């Protein structure tokens, strides 16, 4: 039986793995001296690693901090793809599948953050009722 870690049960983790595999073939095609190439490699890896580490945190605040970092890395990955297009190293058509994956990943991470983020709530006032303490 193969061990399954909690982060491996997350759909966003598997979507991120799919993105990391996709972007790996893109990275290999780029010249080694291109700074955005290395940044894209680090940022895409960071999405996955922070998802895994954050999902293992017991504190909701810690978990959300790592999920925020993961989300930021996904946005950074999208920006790296934009830089590569702007510098004419990649075409819009080439990066579109990756940006589509990243859009879904960002939405899923935002959903997790919303689920785990501590919330402050006030009791809703009843309409038409004067202050009961007066």
**Digit-coded pLDDT (tens) for 83-102:** 999 999 999 999 999 999 99
Count of beta carbons in the 10 Å neighbourhood of residue 3: 5
Q: What's the number of CA atoms in the CB half-sphere (13 Å) around residue 50?
A: 23
Residue 6 has pLDDT above 70, yes or no: yes
Q: What pLDDT is recorded for position 125?
A: 65
Q: What pLDDT is recorded for position 119?
A: 66
pLDDT band at 4 (very low <50, low <70, confident <90, very high): confident
Q: What is the mean pLDDT of residues 69-81?
A: 98
Sole residue written with tokens 């075409």:
91
Q: Tokens at residue 89, please?
A: 């190293």
Alpha carbon distance 47, 52 (integer Å): 9
pLDDT band at 127 (very low <50, low <70, confident <90, very high): confident
Q: What is the mean pLDDT of residues 42-69?
A: 93
| Structural domains in the chain plus CATH codes | 6-116 (1.20.1440.60)
> Any idea of the CA torsion for 9, 13, 19, 22, to the nearest 10 degrees?
-40
By the 10 Å C-beta count (0-12 exposed, 13-18 middle, 19+ buried), 125 is classed as exposed
Residue 48: φ, ψ to 5°: -65, -45
Contact between 44 and 73 (Cβ < 8 Å): yes
Q: What is the mean pLDDT of residues 33-52?
A: 96
Please give the model's pTM, rounded to 2 decimal places.
0.83
């Amino acid at each position: 039986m193969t061990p399954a870690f909690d982060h491996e049960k997350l759909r966003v983790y598997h979507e991120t793995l799919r993105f990391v595999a996709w972007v790996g073939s893109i990275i290999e095609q780029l010249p080694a001296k291109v700074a955005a190439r290395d940044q894209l490699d680090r940022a895409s890896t960071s999405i996955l690693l922070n998802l895994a580490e954050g999902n293992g945190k017991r504190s909701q605040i810690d978990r959300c901090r790592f999920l925020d970092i993961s989300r930021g890395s996904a946005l950074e990955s999208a920006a790296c793809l934009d830089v590569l297009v702007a510098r004419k190293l990649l075409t819009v058509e080439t990066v579109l599948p990756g940006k589509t994956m990243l859009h879904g990943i960002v939405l899923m991470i935002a959903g997790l953050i919303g689920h785990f983020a501590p919330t402050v709530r006030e009791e809703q006032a009843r309409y038409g009722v004067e202050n009961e303490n007066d």
